[in-house]
Amino acid sequence: MKRPGTSRQARGVFLTLEGPEGSGKSTQIAFLGAALRKAGYPVVYTREPGGTKLAEIIRGTLLSASSAEPIAPETEAFLVLAARSQHVTHFIRPALARGSIVLCDRFADSTFAYQGFGRRLSLSWLQTANHAATRGLLPHFTLLLDVPVSVGLARRRQASGKLNRLDRESRQFHMRVREGFLTLASRTPRRIKVINANRPAHVVRAEIEAVVLGWLGKRRRKGG
């Protein structure tokens, strides 16, 4: 059943930034938002897990839960998807309906990379559950910021001094996540553009701006 308002989402543009820990998503999303605003686009920022009051509470639980009661992989997936459902319904779809460019720091590809490749939950189950949580909303375009695991974790450590529950996972887990992201990109190359984020931030920034402004221009010419 189609809910009211779903067809109007086509007015906006949904862009996501993905990548492992410390790849520079939060740094680059701020640069990209500023560049798009300067070019005259209406931009809103958001992030996952999070983006609404309830979803941010779920984020806090996901990142800080104590090792006294480890979160089961399925529980983790349901929490991430519960937060996403709330976020899509109360933030992302309304912003798209207003015609905004929604810049989102992580989205469904992180679920497939972390809970699928990382935790080894079934990808087809995650796709079905994600489809239910989002009612089929997909990003129009995704930047995958790729860095070697050791580089990303070293940046995180340097930035905050302490690591969250997911940062503290094993090196093997983080390697599966990184490879998982790259596998997703190779399966959907038209939507996901891989950016080498193991370069100085200003170099990554320039490439991202060129790629996104080029993509938006092409989309406009096609009448999208």
Ligand X SMILES: Nc1ncnc2c1ncn2[C@@H]1O[C@H](COP(=O)(O)OP(=O)(O)OP(=O)(O)O)[C@@H](O)[C@H]1O
The answer to whether 102 and 12 are in contact (CB under 8 A) is yes
Residue 200's binding partner out of Mg ion, ligand X, none, with CB under 5 to 8 Å set by partner kind: ligand X
Residue number with CB closer to Mg ion (26 or 52)? 26
Determine if 61 is a binding residue for Mg ion (CB under 5 A): no
Report in angstroms how near the CB of residue 2 gets to Mg ion at its nearest: 34
> With CB under 5 A as the contact rule, which of the stretches 19-27, 157-165, 167-175, 180-188 interacts with Mg ion?
19-27
Tokens representing residue 154 in the block:
């070293």
Determine if 164 is a binding residue for Mg ion (CB under 5 A): no
Following DSSP, what letter does each residue of 146-206 receive, concatenated? Answer: E--HHHHHHHHHHHHSS--TTTTS-HHHHHHHHHHHHHHHHHSTTTEEEEE-SS-HHHHHH
Residue number with CB closer to ligand X (22 or 116)? 22
> With CB under 5 A as the contact rule, which of the stretches 17-25, 94-102, 116-124, 154-162 interacts with Mg ion?
17-25
Report in angstroms how near the CB of residue 7 gets to ligand X at its nearest: 33
Report in angstroms how near the CB of residue 20 gets to ligand X at its nearest: 7
Residue 49's binding partner out of Mg ion, ligand X, none, with CB under 5 to 8 Å set by partner kind: none
- Which residues of the chain form contacts with ligand X (CB under 6 A)? 19, 21-27, 155-156, 159, 197, 200-201, 204
Determine if 26 is a binding residue for Mg ion (CB under 5 A): yes
Following DSSP, what letter does each residue of 133-156 receive, concatenated? Answer: HHTT---SEEEEEE--HHHHHHHH
Residue 204's binding partner out of Mg ion, ligand X, none, with CB under 5 to 8 Å set by partner kind: ligand X
Q: Report in angstroms the alpha-carbon separations of 216 from 7, 41, 190, 210.
A: 20, 10, 14, 10
Residue number with CB closer to ligand X (9 or 23)? 23
Which residues, 6+ apart, have CB-to-CB distance to 35 below 8 Å? 209, 212, 213
Residue number with CB closer to Mg ion (21 or 209)? 21
For strand 192-196 and strand 141-146, is the pairing parallel, antiparallel, or unpaired? parallel
For binding to Mg ion (CB under 5 A), which residues are involved? 25-26
